[in-house]
Each structure stands twice: as structure tokens, then as C-alpha cells.
Amino acid sequence: MTSILVLNGPNLNLLGQRQPEVYGRTTLQDVEDMCVASGKDAGLDVICMQSNHEGVMIDAIHAAKGTHGGIVLNAGAYTHTSIALRDAIASVELPVVEVHLSNIHAREAFRHHSHIAPVALGQIAGFGPQGYDLAIQVLAKHLEPKT
Ligand code: DHK
């Protein structure tokens, strides 16, 4: 079965406790369990990982090449700052769906720009944890063998 990586970045380990009015009350464990279940429905094995460290995330993206068919990525604040993460995604040439729980375009101006978006298949923002489910469905469709 094809596998995909669901990679969450800095501060997302605090989901459920962190600014619940912005990020909701769902914990990261809940999100990851939901991703595994969505993957199963879509015929994908889902491997979840979270890191607060940019370099660890870059290593995970490199390691995904040859291991996973694609990546669902919530890079947290690195979305807005990290050219290194963008370069890692461009280097591995894997389909990446960018996810944000909150609608980054309706928040502070510094959150409106994403370094990830130009190298991603697309971006899903503002739908809370459901965004991960949508991203997995998009990736599953994208990874379907073309006949
Ligand atoms: C999560 C973060 O940690 C923020 O830094 C981003 C994103 C938005 C989210 O909505 O999931 O700006």
C-alpha cells in the first residue's frame, strides 16, 4: 500500500491547549488518529510525525523520497519564514499538500505569505482538523495510478 507522511511543525504538539480560539480543542493525537483513519479509507498508509525543529523537518522531507508517495505538511510558523523547507520540498519532487488549521489569509499580514505554497500541489487553510482529511483525499486522488 502507498504510504504518505503527515508532517506537523513547531508548536503543533500543543494543539488542544494552545490558543484554542484559533486552533481549536482537538489535540495532535486526535488529528493524527483521524489522519490514519482517513488514510485507511483512501487506501493509504499514513505515517505521522511532529517536530519543533526546522532541520529535523528537512531531514524528514529528504527521507520521505523513496519511502512515501507524498506529504501533508503543516509547517506552522516555518511556512512564513523557511526558504530551507521550501528548497527541501522542491528537491525531493514529492507531491505536498500544505495544510493550516486556521485561515492564515484572514489573520496577521505576516501569515499571508507562504514559502511552501509555490512548491506545493495546493493549500488548504481555515477548516480546522478537517483540512488534514481533505489533504489526504487530494493526495490519494493524485497518487492514483493513471490508466
Ligand atoms: C499554525 C501555526 O503554528 C502558525 O504559525 C501558522 C498554522 C498557522 C495553522 O493554522 O495551522 O501561521
φ, ψ for residue 34, nearest 5 deg: -65, -40
Which residues of the chain have a pLDDT value below 70? none
* Closest residue CA from atom 1 of ligand 1: 76
pLDDT in tens, 1-28: 899 999 999 999 999 999 999 999 999 9
Is any ligand 1 atom within 6 A of the Cβ of residue 76?
A: yes
CB distance 122 to 90 below 8 Å: no
Which of 102, 113, 134 best tests ligand 1's pocket when mutated (most atoms within 8 Å of CB)?
102
What is the atom index within ligand 1 of the atom nearest the CA of 107? Answer: 12
Give the pLDDT confidence score for residue 92 in this predicted structure. Answer: 98
Q: If you classify domain 3-143 with CATH, what class do you get?
A: alpha beta
Give the pLDDT confidence score for residue 145 in this predicted structure. Answer: 85
Give the pLDDT confidence score for residue 1 in this predicted structure. Answer: 85
Judge whether 18 is annotated as a binding position.
no
Look up residue 123 and give its DSSP letter.
E
Judge whether 15 is annotated as a binding position.
no
Displacement of CA 65 from its chain's centroid (Å): 16
